[in-house]
Amino acid sequence: LDPAALAAGFQAGPANPLLAVEGRAALLNRLGEELERQGMTRPGDLFDRFVAAAETGTLRARHMLGEVLACFGGIWPSRLTLAGVALGDTWRHPLIAQGSVTAGLVPFHKLSQWLTYSLIEPLQWAGITVIDIDDLTGLPEYRNGGLFLDMSVIALKDEADAARAHEPGSTLVVEWRALTVALLDEIGGLIRKRLGRSREDLPLAKVLEGGTWAAGRRIAAERREGGGPPLTIVSDGTVF
């Protein structure tokens, strides 16, 4: 699959742009290669693995994420590795876990977690109860993170950074994403308290879908033409 074929399939063009076509085409090609390496004929084979693991009719969300990472982790561009394993959406920050084997490593796995969240409802339709959903983190992406910047919950140390383009691995972006994860937990707790709901009734996934992501998108549209994020990120489509 080449970028031109992918763009044609999505009817992309000047009036209907598809960002990072090259990166997305490469990702799909790596998906095919990884499926072959895993002995899988299609991505849907993952469902059979979930069914086999749900012996009592229940499945933990963290097990789902583990399977997603094990089956599809190889599709992401290889940036950092640990013991020969590509770490995917994991980045370095100088202040994290100093002196340990994981010194400096900050794992996000945003797209893998997004996929895991998306699989929960279909599994529930199939009669499998997914538990411990809040073992997954909030999604550190530009809608959620943009909400905190746009609403001045957090602020740039240097205002000039708002006009610069930033690589996903920059210290600024890693800090922004890490703060987003932590603050989403705080928002989840505040919303549950106000509504009188438990974690089971209102897991973080629902707070993200109906709250922070939607609010971040709406506020971005109000503040900037085109509704883009408050920071410019140099992305190939495999992080954001």
Residue 136 — very low, low, confident or very high, per pLDDT cuts 50/70/90?
very high
Express each pLDDT in 70-129 by its tens digit.
999 888 887 898 888 889 999 999 988 877 888 899 999 999 999 999 999 999 999 999
Average pLDDT, the chain: 92
Whole-prediction pTM value? 0.89
**Whole-number pLDDT of residue 202:** 92
Tokens standing for 94? 């100088």
Cα separation, 40 vs 46, in Å, equals 8
Cα separation, 69 vs 226, in Å, equals 33
Nearest Cα to 135, choosing from 66, 198, 69, 47?
Answer: 66
Residue 28 — very low, low, confident or very high, per pLDDT cuts 50/70/90?
very high
Alpha carbon of 178 to those of 96, 110, 125, 159: distances in Å?
11, 11, 33, 19
Alpha carbon of 18 to those of 8, 25, 31, 58, 84: distances in Å?
10, 11, 19, 38, 33
Express each pLDDT in 140-196 by its tens digit.
999 999 999 999 999 999 999 999 999 999 999 999 999 999 999 999 999 999 999
Cα separation, 204 vs 115, in Å, equals 15
